[in-house]
Chain A
Amino acid sequence: MKNMLSKINRKDALTLGVLVAMFLVFFVVLSTGMASNQLKNMIIPMSYYILLAISLNLMVGVLGELSLGHAGFMSVGAYVGCYVAVTLVEKYPSMPLAAYLPIAMVIGGLAAAAFGVIIGIPALRVKGDYLAIVTLAFGEIVRTLVQNMSVFGGALGLDTGDIRPKNTALTLLPFTAAVVILSAILIMNLVRSKHGRSIMAIRDNRIAAEACGINVNFYKVAVFGISAFFAGVAGVLYGHNFTIIKPETFGFNMSIEILVMVVLGGMGSNMLGSVVAAVVLTVLPEILRDFQDYRMLIYSVMLVLIMLFTSAPAFAGIRERLSLGFIKEKLTAKKKAKKKSKEGDGA
């Protein structure tokens, strides 16, 4: 019994281990100057995509509501947070990154969370495909609104050159690592708690969840808010990584990209899939740049293949043989066999 309990937590521990190891590698690679320019430019995007994928997984995989507007929440965070950062830096030019970045993240995240709640309330009345359309519309509305707001630079975009640190990737990395790891811990803590169970119960059977005394509306709105908060934080990171935030970046395509990460990584309470998928899907298009014209073709074919591999019943046998549990079992079996043969020799 205890074994099984710790096994569940072990999944989270593995996710955290992978994250920590990944950031350590990034840090070493960046600080020793081993990284190519291509890799350098990918590290921060990889990190905020991880954050986006985890937060969307909370909504899609844990709550079970399809959202196509995650880029919209991200853009709210990016614009509000970076606007705050830009104003701060304008007023106090000597303010260090360590001071204005966290402030920007909290404010950007809260702004996105507010939008999450605002979208969450009407979304209580629609389900499935219809909710997907509502969130899709939300993303487009935000993009169009921002395009026409002179405060945020309109269609030209918000100039974030002043808040973007020099030697961007290396300077941002400690903050990015801290934020991504902390967010992952918070989200996984939530999922493995009383509240997480209630949220998953709503996903599995709404009617039974209500009959068990769960306030479905409260949890749905709360998850919208929490998920949007972390998307907003990712947006602030995005803003600090580039010299300009353009509204058209946060279009439908980006929302889909994040959703693809969540789906390929496997929806549900295990966040490791989202993390790996976010990394792979950020790196893949960059690597394929060498193939020029065929890039998107290869990318989409690979998506189809990954999807087939991760979910088609025909590959179940191969999947099992590649799973950690199976490899471990084999290893221990080998050890046992060795032990036995040794004992046999001794006798």
Chain B
Amino acid sequence: MSNRNTIISANGTEMFSPPSNVLIPTRDEGKQPVLDVRGLGIDFGGLRAVDEFTITVGPTEIAGLIGPNGAGKTTVFNLLTNVYKPTRGAILLDGHPTAGKTVAQVNRMGIARTFQNIRLFDQMTVLDNVRVGMGNNIHCNFAESFLRLPRHFKAEKRSTERALELLSIFNMESEAYTLAGNLPYGAQRRLEIIRALATEPKVLLLDEPAAGMNPSETVALMESIRSIRDTFGIAIMLIEHDMNLVMGVCEGIAVLNFGKLIAKGTPDQIKNNEAVIEAYLGRQEKKEA
């Protein structure tokens, strides 16, 4: 822990100056980036799983994180949410460092996420899954729920209403009382997004939201991602292998390969970037004539 603090303080002066490689949509220009990640890295034993990961995400940006399998994309998400403690570097969320915070505290600071392998509360209803996410924003202490004081009912009512409202984003109100574990796959993915939104985040991290969805579902998901950004005014960062979705919805894309950033840019820049093409398809050997 102390080791990390020294790293931060050593770079302290440099920390708050604008980073060299800023990639923020024009809409968010001049605003403080909601996510400012500097030189993030983690080692697993001798393996540098992620190294020198530096990005900024604007307050209403839709950012993409892509890369071949095993590039370290999910590791980056785990670092951002403090599931892993970074070996190097710092994360500033809305200007506040997240170092030393627990996973739950980071969530309360404003980072919510979904998981690559769906993690729902299977034995609970869809509605309750969403209401769990709202835990931090409805207030009612132990004694109040034990004795069913008025605040308990107020909290229950408010959270139910809000949860149904959130469920309506994906038209899932009719399934509010099904067990989450019994939902079809696509609906489970959508429920995870709603649950994450229920925590009222500033940044929403989506780990392969379109995995297992058919093309028409993916198109619908793209629309939803945009409308979530517009209605909630939050930043969204997503990991995705479906290039149609990434190129269609993301404003800035970062490409990771072997734990290192190999490119950052707009969808068009990324599409034509040689390093990216090489990472995905391999180098094309020039045939000797």
Chain A residues closer than 8 Å to B124, beta-carbon distance: 197, 200-201, 204
Closest 9 CB pairs of A and B: A193-B145, A204-B121, A213-B107, A208-B119, A210-B103, A4-B177, A201-B132, A213-B136, A205-B119
Q: Is B190 an interface residue (CB 8 A)?
A: no
Q: Is B165 an interface residue (CB 8 A)?
A: no
Mask of A198-217 contacts with B, CB within 8 angstroms, 1/0: 10110111011111111110
A268 to B132, CA, bound (A): 17
A200 to B122, CA, bound (A): 10
In the complex where A194-B131, A201-B121 touch, is A211 in contact with B145 (Cβ < 8 A)? Answer: no
Chain A residues closer than 8 Å to B160, beta-carbon distance: 5
CB contacts under 8 Å to B, within A259-297, are 268
Can you list 6 A-B pairs with a CB-CB distance of less than 8 A? A197-B131, A201-B124, A204-B122, A208-B115, A208-B121, A216-B104
Closest residue of A by beta carbon distance from B155: A194
Chain A interface size range? 20 to 34
Please give the residue numbers on chain A whose beta carbons come within 8 Å of chain B beta carbons, in ascending order.
1, 4-5, 186, 189-190, 193-198, 200-201, 203-205, 207-216, 222, 268
Please give the residue numbers on chain B whose beta carbons come within 8 Å of chain A beta carbons, in ascending order.
81, 83, 102-105, 107-108, 112-113, 115, 119-124, 128, 131-133, 135-136, 138, 140, 142, 145-148, 152, 155-156, 159-160, 176-177, 195-196, 198-199
**Of A193, A195, A212, A216, which one neighbours B133 at CB under 8 angstroms?**
A212
Chain B residues closer than 8 Å to A215, beta-carbon distance: 102, 104
Say how far B198's CB is from chain A's closest CB, in angstroms.
8
Contact status A1-B145, CB under 8 Å: no
Contact status A195-B145, CB under 8 Å: yes
A214 to B135, CA, bound (A): 7
Closest residue of B by beta carbon distance from A193: B145
Contact status A189-B148, CB under 8 Å: yes
**Of B83, B128, B146, which one neighbours A186 at CB under 8 angstroms?**
B146
A193 to B152, CA, bound (A): 7
A189 to B131, CA, bound (A): 16
